[in-house]
Amino acid sequence: MKFIQNLSIKAKLIYSMATLLFIAFMGVSLYNYSVSKEEIVSRIVDHELPAHIDKIARTIQNRIQKDLSIADVTANSHFVHQWLKGGQQDTTQILTYLRLINKRLNAFVGYVSERTKLYYSPNGLERRINPTTDSWYFNFRDEQLERALNVDMDYGTGEMMMWVNMKVWDEHKQFIGVLSTGMDLEKTREFILSQQVGEKGEVMMVDHNGAIKIHNNKDLIDVNDELKHGKTLQTIPGLSAIAVELMSENGAVHKYKNKDGDNHIITTRYIPEMDWYLIVDVSQDEMTSAIESLFIKNMVTGILVTVLIVLFIVFFSNRIIFSRLNSLKHVIEDFAEGNLQTSYEEKNRDEVGMLGLAILSMQKRLQKIVTDISESSSRIIHASKEISQSSQQLAEGAQEQAASIEEVSSSMEQMLANIDQNAANAKETESIADKASQNISLVNQSVLETARAMKTIAEEVSVINDISKRTDMLAINAAIEAARAGEYGKGFAVVASEIRSLAENTQKAAHKIEELSQSSVQVAEESNQSLETLIPDVRKTSSLVQGISAASREQSHGAQNVNDAILQLNDVAQRNSSAAEELAVSADIFDHQADSLQKSIAFFSTEKKRSVKNVQTIQSEIQRLTQLLADVSTSNAQEESAAAKKYPAEEAKPQPRKNEGVAIDLSDDFEDEDNQDEGFEKIDDNNE
């Protein structure tokens, strides 16, 4: 940022124009590059790549159709059917025919007889087939297909071979054998591999399972060999996600990134004669590399054009603009050195000319302002000294007031702490009274339950008394029966006597328990009456304690409000004291600055020394300082009035203010120009 600020206007203009032009050329080039790249990719996807793969597919289909026609002609050969009718006795005829086809048509033809299971080839009678080693024959025989096509690579020779197996029928539509025709597809494979687009493009063929059958890299080719397994589309980086979509009979075009991160476009075509898929893969980056080269050339051209335009602008601006600006620069430098008498002529009315006229007008105004400031600085010094004295007095009074408020605040805090302690004690007493009331209620309930229990015991004792009476009667009856029994009833008579004695004792004890129960019930009822009389008193006590606690809280709240108001007054007093001190410091600084101004203004050389406008500006500054002093002096009165309205019940005796502030009116000497001139003349006389 500092580097830009330190540059000249010429340098800023050059840099800005160069930057704008470069950005413009860059934007246009990038736009053209983007549009051209998209157009090329669109043309490749929509036209060129489909046309290229269709051309390859048609060529492959034409070659395969030619090979299939050879297999059809051989399978339907009249000579083969005649040889079969003859009983297949003369093997020399069939071998000669097979060798002739191999020589003329470059096709390897083999025949398997269904009746003899013998396999004939141009090399002679090779073997008798069996289901173990020649399962292909038996599988094809049992299928409903008339023709089966299989393409594979012979790893012995490294050549691509296509085998066409066709069923042979006699005139009675009876199956009599299989004619197998093998044709060399090496030229077709070479043609397919030669159709790659660019250095990074690839052409391949895969079967219906996605296994790679034709590819430049033989390690990727899948063959029917347990020791050699190739790869499928799913194993190639970038194609695993779209492999299923690629193997579509309708064809498909996709974009993907390979393992190196390059953008590629890939498309497929289905070859129904082989049940394979032709795949063409091109590098999008390679196809658009020419556009990138063109983009670089455009960038270089843009830079050269930018340099030429900037050079022209520099030459033009030096002749018309910057030479005149340098002249204005010298004038302003003279102003900076204190010379306000320098001369400058401007004839043009363009922007630079208007700037020159404005500088000349400013020169005249500066001459007048410097003269007026020199004359009015003495008055400023005198006024600033009076402001400084008044502000110091105001600061002392504010400090004394702040100290008094702090003492009152400390007393209020102590009283507030005592009120809080009383409120806490009342609250604790209230809690104890509530617990006592609850405990008395519980005791009263226990007494009532005890009375009910004693009544129940009395009822049960009456039952025991009745039982003892009946037991006594039974003992009497037993004694009578024992007496009747005579000698035999003596032992029973003793038992009857003991039972009777026990019944009498039980009756006495029951009677005593009944008396005690009645006495206890009476005592419990009296206790209940006493507790019921005591409960309202305890509740009334609790209610009174609650009232005391609520009153304490209200008193604490009121005291807190009073304390907050005192703290607020203290804060206001502190701010007033600080403001007064700052005002005193500002007045001192103002005094020193006025002295410095009077010394600095002597630096300029002028002809006139009057300016009404500048004096009015200084007058407004002095009035602003005077108003600030008045605001500080009246702030305490406003805060105390607000506190009196907020808390009318707390009356305080009016205290005389020690410092009301001092208002200095300096505007009388600046009412009109005549007074100003008169004052300045007096100052000049004194200075002389």
Q: Is the pLDDT of residue 492 over 50?
A: yes
Q: How far apart are CA 253 and CA 266, in angstroms?
A: 6
| Type of residue at 647 | Y
Q: Is the pLDDT of residue 206 over 80?
A: yes
Structure token pair of residue 68? 């299939």
pLDDT in tens, 389-436: 777 777 777 777 777 777 777 777 777 777 777 777 777 777 787 777
The whole-number pLDDT of residue 645 equals: 54
Q: What value does the mean pLDDT take over residues 346-352?
A: 71
Please state which CATH number belongs to domain 385-601: 1.10.287.950
Q: Is the pLDDT of residue 289 over 50?
A: yes
CATH class of 196-287: alpha beta
Residue 276 backbone phi and psi in degrees, to 5? -120, 170
Confidence of residue 681 (pLDDT cuts 50, 70, 90): very low
How much of the chain exceeds pLDDT 70, in percent? 77
**If you average pLDDT over each of 122-136, 333-347, 657-671, which comes out highest?**
122-136
Environment class of 430 (CB within 10 Å of its CB; exposed 0-12, middle 13-18, buried 19+):
buried
| Type of residue at 454 | M
The whole-number pLDDT of residue 3 equals: 67
Q: Residue 93: how many CB atoms within 10 A of its CB?
A: 15
Coil, strand or helix at 163: strand
Residue 124 backbone phi and psi in degrees, to 5? 115, -170
Mean pLDDT score of the chain: 72
Q: How far apart are CA 265 and CA 233, in angstroms?
A: 15
Q: How far apart are CA 175 and CA 315, in angstroms?
A: 100
Confidence of residue 535 (pLDDT cuts 50, 70, 90): confident
pLDDT in tens, 629-639: 556 556 555 65
pLDDT in tens, 227-277: 344 577 777 777 777 777 777 767 777 787 877 777 888 888 888 877 788
87 torsion bin: left (phi>0), alpha (psi -120 to 50), beta (else) = left
The whole-number pLDDT of residue 85 equals: 67
pLDDT in tens, 210-224: 888 787 777 677 655
The whole-number pLDDT of residue 608 equals: 45
Which pTM does this prediction carry?
A: 0.41
Environment class of 636 (CB within 10 Å of its CB; exposed 0-12, middle 13-18, buried 19+):
buried
Q: How far apart are CA 474 and CA 40, in angstroms?
A: 132
The whole-number pLDDT of residue 157 equals: 60
The whole-number pLDDT of residue 76 equals: 72
Q: What value does the mean pLDDT take over residues 492-508?
A: 78
Residue 127 backbone phi and psi in degrees, to 5? -165, 170
Confidence of residue 488 (pLDDT cuts 50, 70, 90): confident
The whole-number pLDDT of residue 298 equals: 75
pLDDT in tens, 131-185: 888 888 888 888 887 877 776 665 556 666 777 888 888 777 888 888 888 777 7
Radius of gyration of the chain from its Cα atoms, rounded to whole angstroms: 63
Q: Residue 529: how many CB atoms within 10 A of its CB?
A: 12
Start-end of H helices in 247-288 = 284-287
Q: Is the pLDDT of residue 609 over 60?
A: no
Q: How far apart are CA 265 and CA 257, in angstroms?
A: 9
The whole-number pLDDT of residue 657 equals: 43
Measured at the CA of 381, the angle between CA 686 and CA 674, to 5 degrees, comes to 60
| Residue that the structure tokens 């059958």 belong to | 213
Higher-confidence position of 121 and 681:
121
Cβ-based neighbours of 270, under 8 Å, separated by 6 or more: 248, 249, 250, 251, 276, 277, 278
Q: How far apart are CA 266 and CA 249, in angstroms?
A: 15
Q: Is the pLDDT of residue 101 over 70?
A: yes
Q: Cβ(506)–Cβ(475) under 8 Å? A: no
Q: What value does the mean pLDDT take over residues 675-680?
A: 41
Beta strands 159-169; 147-154: pairing state? antiparallel
Q: Is the pLDDT of residue 58 over 80?
A: yes
Q: What value does the mean pLDDT take over residues 80-95?
A: 71
Listed by start position, the domains of the chain span 196-287, 385-601
pLDDT in tens, 553-578: 777 777 777 777 777 777 777 777 77
The whole-number pLDDT of residue 318 equals: 72
Q: How far apart are CA 57 and CA 51, in angstroms?
A: 10
The whole-number pLDDT of residue 442 equals: 77
Fold matches, 196-287 and 385-601: no
Can you count the helices (H) and strands (E) in the chain?
15, 11
Q: Cβ(18)–Cβ(314) under 8 Å? A: no
